[in-house]
Amino acid sequence: MMALASGGLFLLALIAGPRYGLLRRSWDHLWWQVQVAADDILGVLFRQAESAPAGPPVSWKQLTELLSHSRWIIALARRRLERATLIQSQAGGWELTDAGRTRAQELVRSHRLWEAFLAQRFRVPEGRVHASAEKVEHYLGESLRGQLADELQQSTEDPHGRAIPPER
């Protein structure tokens, strides 16, 4: 009976452990996927507004086509962004609020600074810098962006010729 009870407690700890349990790890993984998708939505909306400032808002269909996340992850991310008032529904689509524009600008700045850093310091070919920047942009904070900007002597363009947004 003691072995059965010990085995049961072990399984309970393995599954429901508050820090390292399988449920917690699954929840953390889902949370991170939603956060990355939310950042990607902000980036898409910022780039859309950057390329066509007076253009129509980005529709749900366009978002799901442009992003490589599942529809339900995008839906959760969109809901999170709406609750945080970073995006708003407008004329059948989505656009950034002022707070969302600020956050999106930080993300795009991180992305483009990392691309410029890889291209200038490591001579990574232009076609390969984007994939790396897509991953790193979620981790770069204000201090790292500042260090990258200093390292690049305040470069104003990424390797693709797009302007690097200024720090707010």
Both structure tokens of 11: 């399984």
pLDDT band at 158 (very low <50, low <70, confident <90, very high): confident
Statement to judge: residues 10 and 70 lie in one domain: yes
C-alpha–C-alpha distance, residues 148 and 150, integer Å: 5
Residues in the chain: 168
Helix ranges, the chain (H): 2-16, 22-51, 60-66, 71-83, 98-121, 126-136, 142-151
Return the amino acid letter for 85: T
CB atoms near residue 150 (< 10 Å): 9
Quote the pLDDT of residue 46.
96
The pLDDT, as a whole number, for residue 55 is 83
Give residue-wise pLDDT tens across range 42-60: 999 999 999 888 888 999 9
Q: Are residues 28 and 65 in the same domain?
A: yes
52 and 129, same domain (yes or no): no
**What pLDDT score was predicted for residue 76?**
97
Let me know if residue 158 belongs to a domain.
no
Residue 116 lies in a domain: yes
Identity of the residue numbered 63: L
pLDDT reported for residue 114: 93
**Is 136 in the same domain as 57?**
no
Q: Residues 71-84: pLDDT tens digits? A: 999 999 999 999 99
Confidence of residue 6 (pLDDT cuts 50, 70, 90): very high
